[in-house]
Amino acid sequence: MNVAGPSFAETFVGQLVIVTSILMLLLNLVPLLIWLERRLLALWQDRYGPNRVGPFGLLQPIADMIKIFMKEDWIPPFADKVVFVVAPVVVVFTGLMAFAVVPFTPGIVIANLNVGLLFFLAMSSMGVYSVALAGWASNNKYSLLGGLRASAQMLGYEVFMGLSLMGVVMLAGSFNLREIVEAQRGMWFCIPQFPGLIMFLIAGVAETHRVPFDLPEAESELVAGFHAEYSGMKFGMFFLGEYLGITLISAITVTLFFGGWLGPWLPPVVWFALKTGVFVCGFILLRAALPRMRYDQLIGFAWKTMLPLSLLNVLITGAVMLATK
């Protein structure tokens, strides 16, 4: 990396290399995460998990991928075909786009936007379209209800997700993610912004529809939901989007609250990957341990508890900053 230097990263070819490698990395990370999730869930349930295909079962996701590509590409005759196909693409697209602003190291960031954080929030809001359109285009009442359910949840959690990050923005004085990381040289924001961290994590789990907020999917009692009509690789795209979402939320949490690439001895990329990995494992631990919430509790929790709390967090952060100025 030192050979190329920062000037290389700024050239067109350098950008292209960075973009391509990050894209490849992320897309290949997803099968790895599926394997990791299955192994870790098994670990916490006193089982082994997939350990037959390849060393430690590492080739299992490849076998799964072959299977999912071989499946029939089925579009229901009653569906709105164009939207039906576009919906799963949207979730992957927004997930990948949001990674454009994540600073992996001081040198490696695709788009060093001044409003990086806003861009991330906007992209994760766009994800709602995927769910809503999938439910709508399936032209099936259960899918539509599932889509509505998921959209209401994502909207509710979207609002205080943005607000919970405002404390960080106020402390750093910038929306630029690289500057936010630089502002954490003295102290990671997970300490002064601890309530914000908790709220952001809750919102992040809900945003990626993971347990205990996986009402949009709810395989066991609500018959899937928005993706009831999807199969094969189009269903795989939703899967891909979900795992991209997990990685994204973990990466953003690390960037905003745990000092991003900052850390002693090891190179910045390693620190970033390590911290992100811990949060990904945390997501899986949540799935292993917690039951699903009831829907009215879910919505009530977002609007009646978390939204006022996040406003209060902004208020107190502002007051403390004024007082200590």
Contacts with another protein, residue ranges (CB under 8 A): 43-48, 285-286, 288-290
Residue 292 CB, nearest approach to another protein (Å): 13
Closest distance of CB 30 from another protein, Å:
24
Task: Write the DSSP symbol of residue 305.
Answer: I
Residues 6 or more apart whose CB falls under 8 angstroms from that of 229 comprise 76, 79, 84, 138, 140, 143
Question: Closest approach of Cβ 133 to another protein, in Å?
Answer: 33
Q: In the complex, what is the shortest distance from the CB of residue 14 to another protein, in angstroms, rounded to a whole number?
A: 42
Q: Which is nearer to another protein, 192 or 282 (CB)?
A: 282
Which H or E run includes 24? helix 12-44
State the nearest-atom distance from the C-beta of 47 to another protein, in Å.
5
CA distance 318 to 29: 39
Q: Annotate 248-270 with b (16+ C-beta within 10 A) or e (fewer).
A: bbbbbbbbbbbbbbbeeeeebee
Which one, 47 or 294, has the nearer CB to another protein?
A: 47
Please say whether the beta carbons of 189 and 200 come within 8 A: no
Of 71 and 304, nearer to another protein (C-beta) is 304
Residue nearer to another protein on the CB measure, 47 or 81: 47
Q: What is the closest distance, in whole angstroms, from the C-beta atom of residue 272 to another protein in the complex?
A: 24
For the chain, the 3-state helix, strand and coil shares in percent, each to the nearest 5, are 70, 0, 30
Nearest-approach distance from CB 291 to another protein, in angstroms: 9
Q: Which residue number, 253 or 255, has a Cβ lying nearer to another protein?
A: 253
Q: Which residue from 126, 150, 124 is spatially nearest to 225, judged by alpha carbons? A: 150
Looking at the Cβ atoms of 137 and 205, the one nearer to another protein is 205
Distances (CA, A) of 262 to 59, 72, 104, 269, 273: 33, 47, 10, 9, 11
CB within 8 Å of 200: residues ≥ 6 apart:
161, 164, 165, 253, 256, 257
Cβ at position 1, least distance to another protein in Å? 35
183, 200, 74, 86: which is closest to 133 by C-alpha? 86
In contact, 75 and 84? CB cutoff 8 Å: yes
- Report how far residue 187's alpha carbon sits from residue 258's, in angstroms, rounded to the nearest whole number: 9
- Identify which of residues 99 and 157 has a Cβ nearer to another protein in the complex: 157
3-state secondary structure of 16: helix
Q: What is the 3-state secondary structure (H, E, C) of 124-151?
A: HHHHHHHHHHHHHHCCCHHHHHHHHHHH
Q: 198 or 314: whose CB is closer to another protein? A: 198
Residue closer to another protein by CB (options 48, 74) is 48
Report, in Å, the least distance between residue 307 CB and another protein.
17
